[in-house]
Amino acid sequence: MRPTRQSSAEGTGRSTRHGGFPVAAALGLTAALALTATACGPGDSSADSKPSASAVSGGTDEFQIPDDVRQQLKKHGIDPDKWKNGEWRNWDKDKWLREAKDYVNPIIQGLWDPDRMRKADKPPEKTVPNDISGDKGVTDPAPAPVKAAAVQAPYHQSLPELGKLFFDSPEGSMVCSATVVQDPAHPGKSNLVWTAGHCVHAGAKGGWYRNIAFVPSYNNTDLATSQLQKATKQQIAPYGVYWADWAQTSQQWIEGGGPTGGQGAPYDFAVLHVTPEKGSNGKSLEETVGGALPVDFNAPAVPKIASITANGYPAAPPYDGQKLFQCKDRPGRLSLDASLPTMYRLGCTMTGGSSGGGWIATGSGGKPSLVSNTSIGPVTAGWLAGPRLGKEAKGVYDSVSGKYAGH
């Protein structure tokens, strides 16, 4: 599900995207993140809001724009000095970097502090109709709702690869879910993270989100919401904060994705390459968390999969985004249009914020593998849908892996 303000859709009987925005994944197409020097303060919902003290680590004077990023901004007609001093708050579409090559996302030390992470609880998706099938001949009947089960703490013990994704949009700070995946170019030492396309890019009418950061095993010990108000960064982010220095999604999402999925939904996936906020200690993300899931681009068709488990941090009511949940169900099929790939669909009560979370099943190799991610889902109908990963998804994955193969 995309990150959205699902609370406003509650009770409408319409579907919402559960974990991100429309998908823009192009085969072999590389996507670049948006560059920002500061960001809206904790809980700000206005793009015009001035950054609070907690949003700027040490003030903008300490932030130095790398020469390559400076040149990239100039190519887009953006004055780097004006941008550094606050023009980043201008989210006018003409200045909203959106093409695959445009992604830049410099680290802002301390931006995602415990308070800002706790208050970032908006998912990006909007509501869609409960019945969104465009091909009755392929789509299976809607599944019965499966009540999301709380994952037993510590989360890292059973799901070390899972985590929460934070980013800034024109509407304020938002959240999704994400998963550490293996990197074929660096076996055992991956820095790759899988999420939904709508969690990094707004699709047809927008561009790259800003300040994208991944926190593995967020709130690992399952602290109560009241306790989180005084929690330390070590308690909330025990394995660190990782900034996406590169992001790539499908071209289909970039061109056709929308707040409710749109034509981009079957391609709503993204791969991030991340780097630690505080600098590398010589260990990769995979080594730090102790695991990374293989991605199966040849997962069995629906009739041959006994069950899939969807994982994520749902943030829209009745959830608050602070705890990890999962749903296990036998998948069915959902076809948005006869011309588009058929999606997987599971019964699940998770809401917005769970978007981008990994769907795990026994893959074609007989081992637990990531076979999809949460993309769309209704507020009241109790189901989630995710893309079936094929050649487009593999193209995105291979492109990001290849980009850092020599690093």
Two tokens, residue 88: 């980043």
The 10s digit of each residue's pLDDT in 359-370 is: 999 877 788 999
pLDDT bin (cut points 50, 70, 90) of residue 83 is: low
Mean pLDDT score, 40-69: 39
Q: Is the pLDDT of residue 270 over 80?
A: yes
403 within 8 A of 333, measured Cβ to Cβ? no
The 10s digit of each residue's pLDDT in 140-161 is: 999 999 999 999 999 999 999 9
* Of 22-36, 78-92, 212-226, 280-294, the least confident: 22-36
Per-residue model confidence (pLDDT) at position 400: 98
Q: Is the pLDDT of residue 381 over 60?
A: yes
* Of 90-99, 366-375, 397-406, the least confident: 90-99
Q: Is residue 1 a part of any domain in this protein?
A: no
The 10s digit of each residue's pLDDT in 13-41 is: 333 455 432 222 222 222 332 322 222 22
Q: Is residue 363 a part of any domain in this protein?
A: yes
Q: Is residue 332 a part of any domain in this protein?
A: yes
Q: Is residue 180 a part of any domain in this protein?
A: yes
pLDDT bin (cut points 50, 70, 90) of residue 76 is: low
Q: Is the pLDDT of residue 247 over 50?
A: yes
Q: Is residue 350 a part of any domain in this protein?
A: yes
Q: What are the helix and strand counts (H, E) for the chain? A: 9, 19
The 10s digit of each residue's pLDDT in 300-357 is: 778 788 899 999 999 988 999 999 999 999 999 999 888 899 999 999 999 999 999 9
User: In which element (H, E) is residue 372 found?
Assistant: strand 368-373
**Which residue type, as a one-letter code, is found at position 278?**
K
- The DSSP letter of residue 7 is G
Residue with tokens 């892996």: 401
Residue 370 C-alpha from the chain's centroid: 15
Q: Structural domain tally of the chain?
A: 1
Identify the domain containing residue 139 by its residue range.
6-403
pLDDT more than 70, % of the chain:
77
Mean pLDDT score, 94-107: 81
Three-state SS annotation for 303-326: HHCCCEEEEECCCCCCCCCCCCEE
185 within 8 A of 130, measured Cβ to Cβ? no
The 10s digit of each residue's pLDDT in 161-205 is: 999 999 998 888 999 999 999 999 999 999 999 999 999 999 988
* Of 219-228, 366-375, 379-388, the least confident: 379-388
